[in-house]
Amino acid sequence: MSRQEASIKDVAARAGVSTATVSNVLNGTKPVSPAMARKVRKAADELGYRVNRVASQLRSGKARVVGVIVPDLSDPFFTSIITELEGLARPGGYEIIVANSNNDTQIEHGRLDALLAWRPAAMVIIPCTDTLPPHVREERAEVPMALADRVADTGVVDTVLIDNKDAGKIAARYLTDIGHRDVLLAPSDLNLVAIRQRCEGAESAIRRVGGRVRQVELGSEPNKGAKTLTHWLERNDWPTAIIAMTDITTLGVLTSMAQRKIDIPNQISIVGFDDYPWMSARRTAISAVRQPIVEIARTIWERLEARMNGEDQPPQTIVLECSLKIRDSAQPILGEKPSQDRRAYSNEGPGELEIGEEAASRRTSKGGTIH
């Protein structure tokens, strides 16, 4: 005869607490003192007790699960968003379940099916293309959803984006401000509207001062991107500066520079995209466009919470501003006088400045976009 599985009552008896306390500890429903939590978890481990999520969901009538699907878990931007969402979900007793679409629409559709089978309380979807997954239209009435990062079809569900054109502009304006007139843009995938918008913003700022703009598409894999850029540099005259349009292309650009032993910024200046600790943990710290990751995650969670609590207003499209972290990877062109207008700059510490430090959201009550 097989051994009977331990119950929540067994755990409570061993720990000397109520079943409600056991539930609060194991489901994260309410805060419990660290000592009490350790006692409950120790009792649960000794008895081999595990929470039955399906049974809990059936009893409560409401799942405590939020599904998140992203295009690529190897991309630090997406994992940073997930980390922030986990922290926001925990106080409400929600669990985050993550799926990776591997930038493949067929995988995306299959994993969305799997996530929706959990009957989640809500879903966060970062599509791998600009085409809205059919699940969004089919399930939006049943499951609160939020889209992020990719443009897709706004106006269907709440959507959180950044101002991609402005993100490109602030990087290019910084370079033109210090004299650069020959700039190479390094996008990842020009099939994505967001990436095209970043390039359009940068190009408009460079053209405005009579500069020369070229671009080379590097893809979404750093080593392949590095080879592509190296091949391009071998066959073209070098620009004075490169703007990488994603964190992955930033890695590709830096890898190519290292392989060719190109001195940054003495030979080529660099502005990257997304700002992570490794960008300043270098001999030459990298200037980079900074996406407001904390604000993106917080805005997503605010919209999900509102929908889970019954809000029935039309979908909102919320656009957040980026900023530019200035470090040492770009230098003025000799003979050009950098602008002395520093009104948009704020001191961030030795050798660091930031443009557009405060991220601003733009909202409407009936959908659309407000800046």
Domain boundaries, the chain: 8-51, 60-156, 164-291+321-359
Fold of 8-51: 434 Repressor (Amino-terminal Domain) (1.10.260)
Tell me the H-state helices in 61-103: 76-89
Handedness of CA 164, 165, 168, 173 (dihedral sign): negative
Please report which confidence band the pLDDT of residue 152 belongs to, taking 50, 70 and 90 as the band edges: low
What is the rounded average pLDDT of the residues 214-232?
Answer: 96
Percentages of the chain per state (helix, strand, coil), in multiples of 5: 40, 20, 40
**Mean pLDDT for all residues in the chain:** 85
C-alpha dist (Å) from residue 48 to 15, 22, 41, 95: 14, 14, 10, 21
CATH of the domain spanning 164-291+321-359, picked from 3.40.190.10, 3.90.950.20, 3.40.50.2300, 3.90.105.10? 3.40.50.2300
The more confidently predicted of residues 20 and 163 is 163
Q: Cβ distance 160 to 321 under 8 Å?
A: no
The more confidently predicted of residues 124 and 152 is 124
What is the rounded average pLDDT of the residues 104-110?
Answer: 90
Residue 336 pLDDT: 54
What is the rounded average pLDDT of the residues 39-45?
Answer: 86
Rounded to an integer, what distance in angstroms lies between the CA atom of residue 209 and that of residue 206? 6
Q: Cβ distance 8 to 19 under 8 Å?
A: yes
Angle formed by the axes of helices 8-15 and 19-27, to 10°?
A: 100
What is the rounded average pLDDT of the residues 21-46?
Answer: 79
Residue 50 pLDDT: 67
Residue with tokens 């609590």: 309
Residue with tokens 């073209």: 236
> CATH homologous superfamily of domain 60-156?
Response regulator (3.40.50.2300)
Buried b or exposed e, range 231-245, using 16+ CB within 10 angstroms = ebbeeeeebbbbbbb
Q: Cβ distance 127 to 309 under 8 Å?
A: no
Phi, psi of 342 (to 5 degrees): -110, 20
Rounded to an integer, what distance in angstroms lies between the CA atom of residue 66 and that of residue 290? 27
pTM of the model: 0.77
Q: Cβ distance 229 to 250 under 8 Å?
A: no
Quick check: do 60-156 and 164-291+321-359 share a fold? yes
Q: Cβ distance 174 to 338 under 8 Å?
A: no
C-alpha dist (Å) from residue 5 to 12, 15, 49, 360: 14, 17, 7, 52
Q: Which two tokens stand for residue 348?
A: 């961030």
**pLDDT per position as a tens digit, 290-307:** 999 999 999 999 999 999
Residue 365 pLDDT: 35
Question: 3-state class of 3 per DSSP?
Answer: coil
Please report which confidence band the pLDDT of residue 362 belongs to, taking 50, 70 and 90 as the band edges: very low
Please report which confidence band the pLDDT of residue 171 belongs to, taking 50, 70 and 90 as the band edges: very high
Reference 41, options 11, 16, 20, 19; nearest CA is 11
- Other CB atoms within 10 Å distance of the CB of residue 43: 21
C-alpha dist (Å) from residue 80 to 44, 72, 340: 31, 12, 35
Strand 323-326 and strand 352-355: pairing?
antiparallel
